[in-house]
């Protein structure tokens, strides 16, 4: 509520919806809508389009898979469209299903796509612990980027995916995986309503398994 008695929203849902309607018109041409990924105002709408593409079957998977392959191998800002498709994948209400169907895609090439998805997930599934850091501006950006608290409702599918694939996740020695585990285990309470906080056990298991793999690699290199 402003001093003039008007309501203002941090996210303009009407504008996002209007942009999404436009994207649906050009949804079958990733080279066209992918270029819009350079503008942050289009990010929410592109994520919504990505979730729609997951539900459109094609001869080779879904429209999401087709668009992702095209954008990932493109140059410049078009590759940002592929990143937003990864956001759509892990934020979708049926993310458990979509992630499982793309297990090989995510773990291929030593898990580079999994790492990319998790790097982005850590940002879009958390909020800064300090809303307005004071002092040096560069330090404020650092604090905002590193000191973050989970948005609980977004973590379930990703945590379950990592735990289901523990034997493949641990050998990667992935820094993004370690960061997710650290954020959850350091910022969530041990108990909620007298019961162990959900996902702490699963992420602790992932963290321990990953640490053991890293230790083994260090021992081998000596």
C-alpha closest to that of 82 among 92, 73, 93: 73
Give the Cα separation of 57 and 205 in Å (integer): 35
Report whether 159 contacts 118 (CB < 8 A).
Answer: no
Mean pLDDT, rounded, for 196-218: 92
* Bridge partners of residue 192, in order along the sequence: 195
Separation CA 118–CA 75 (nearest Å): 22
DSSP single-letter state for residue 36: G
pLDDT tens across 1-45, in order? 345 556 555 557 788 999 999 999 999 999 999 999 999 999 999
* Cα 78 to Cα 90: distance, rounded to the nearest angstrom: 20
Lowest mean pLDDT among 68-72, 116-120, 181-185, 214-218: 214-218
Between 7-11, 72-76, 176-180, the lowest mean confidence (pLDDT) is in 7-11
Residue 14 is predicted with a pLDDT of: 83
Category of 18 on φ-ψ map: left (φ > 0), alpha (ψ -120 to 50) or beta: alpha
pTM here is 0.88
Query: What token pair was written down for 111?
Result: 């898990």
Residues, the chain: 222
pLDDT for the residue numbered 141: 65
């Amino acid at each position: 509520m402003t001093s003039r008695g008007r309501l203002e929203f941090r996210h303009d849902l009407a504008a996002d919806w209007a942009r999404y309607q436009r994207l649906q018109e050009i949804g079958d041409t990733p080279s066209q809508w992918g270029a819009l990924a350079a503008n942050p105002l289009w990010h929410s709408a592109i994520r919504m389009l990505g979730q729609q593409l997951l539900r459109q079957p094609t001869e080779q998977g879904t429209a999401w898979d087709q668009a992702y392959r095209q954008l990932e191998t493109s140059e410049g800002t078009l590759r940002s469209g592929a990143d937003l498709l990864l956001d759509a994948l892990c934020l979708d209400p049926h993310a458990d299903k979509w992630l499982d169907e793309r297990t090989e895609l995510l773990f291929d090439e030593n898990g580079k796509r999994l790492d990319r998805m998790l790097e982005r997930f850590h940002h879009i599934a958390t909020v800064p612990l300090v809303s307005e850091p004071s002092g040096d501006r560069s330090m404020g950006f650092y604090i905002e980027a590193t000191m973050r608290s989970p948005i609980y409702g977004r973590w379930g599918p990703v945590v379950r995916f990592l735990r289901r694939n523990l034997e493949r996740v641990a050998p990667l020695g992935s820094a993004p995986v370690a960061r997710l585990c650290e954020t959850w285990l350091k910022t969530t309470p041990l108990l909620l309503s007298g019961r162990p906080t959900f996902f702490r056990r699963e992420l602790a298991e992932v963290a321990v398994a990953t640490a053991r793999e890293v230790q083994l690699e260090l021992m081998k290199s000596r």
